[in-house]
Amino acid sequence: MVRVSSKILALVVGVLPQLIQGSGLHTAAVAKGKLYFGSATDNSELTDTAYLTQLNNTDDFGQITPGNSQKWDTIEPTQNQFSYTKGDVIANLAKANDQKLRCHTLVWHSQLPSWVSSGTWTNATLIAAMKNHITNVVTHYKGDCYAWDVVNEALNEDGSYRDSIFYQTIGPAYIPIAFAAAAAADPDVKLYYNDYNIESSGSKAMAAQNIVKLVQSYGAKIDGVGLQAHFIVGSTPSQSSQASVLSAYAALGVEIAYTELDIRMTLPSTDALLAQQKTDYTNTVAACVAEKSCIGITIWDWTDKYSWVPNTFSGQGAACPWDENYAKKPAYTGILSALGGTATTTTTSAGQSTTSSTSTTSSSGGSTTGIARWGQCGGSGWTGGTTCASGYTCTYFNDYYSQCL
């Protein structure tokens, strides 16, 4: 890395808005023929400038999922009174970044307002309320969402139906009714069934396949199955096990996506656990890469700082590819390698460890081998690549900014 004078720095200030970052997870995923690699987020996190800077890094994240701001209790806390403020913030962020938006979620047994969960319903009145909610929400976000998780977590672990207010009152027909209502409100959006522990063969995965068949038997539209993939280090299904069930979903004529991927461990974190976590992430991403119908992967937030795991599973955490200080963990390199990319770690003049990434395209494309001229290649808090394309040098301006010149 070389240093330049303030005069040269002044000459290039005009090109700073056009900076091109080094290739990352999303870039590598697209090169492998996938639609996206993305992350969930929540409104409270967006006040963290360093967090937001990385979330806006479209080389790593080409898609965003609102973690909570599109759920029923947030959007329709009182019957037929809708509030889209929080959801719109994330939808607008994705739109500004040209990132795909996976919308989440329309019908779920949890995070319901009390007027739904504790209401006195008949079959007809609850169907009407459910359809009204779906119609209003999907219509509001029409054109913004790549996909909707229409029904979320309808199954128990043994594959039986969860005894939710919807199942109690309407029976299993609530599922195809919900899909039909969503399709009527936005015929173009992809419609998903989403659940956890359906990523490898077993009674629950079979029941998820039967939900696809149920919706299809009603003549309703269903486009995909979302595999939440909340895994545990060392207990994550093997690549072959995941590949087998991905093929089973694909055989039903639907696409598949990993929608909430994280891999938690019992704390404290150790080098051995981090190494196993890297392997588990690698195997999961590789299973998606190998299945044509698996179109993308979303991690359930990118940093341990904002992971849901510690507040839900006592004594567990460190589930994300970045740690709580926003440093990339071995899991990041595992994901990137499964996507056909490579990463090398270097140290900047400020003493910080950074990761440089390259990716290899599928047979239909070329290759990315470095950061283009004018691209940022280093600086305090920089999480992108540090290797410039042939003929250019990573040039130091200050501790916060280096550029390929």
Walking along the chain (405 residues) 10 residues at a time, the average pLDDT comes out as 42 32 83 98 98 97 98 98 98 98 98 98 98 98 98 98 98 98 98 98 98 98 98 98 98 98 98 98 98 98 98 98 98 96 48 47 44 65 73 65 63
Q: What is the pLDDT of residue 394?
A: 81
- 76 in catalytic set: no
Q: What is the pLDDT of residue 395?
A: 73
Q: What is the pLDDT of residue 362?
A: 44
Structure token digits, residue 146: 């790549």
- Catalytic residue of the set 76, 199, 255, 260: 260
- Catalytic residue of the set 153, 199, 255, 291: 153
CA distances from 52 to 10, 44, 225, 372 (A): 27, 11, 29, 24
Domains of the chain: 25-339 (3.20.20.80), 375-404 (no CATH)
- 157 in catalytic set: no
Helix ranges (DSSP H) in 38-141: 49-55, 72-75, 85-97, 114-117, 123-140
CA dist 1 and 402 (Å) reads 9
305 contacts 327 by C-beta, under 8 angstroms: no
Q: What is the pLDDT of residue 109?
A: 98
CA dist 12 and 362 (Å) reads 34
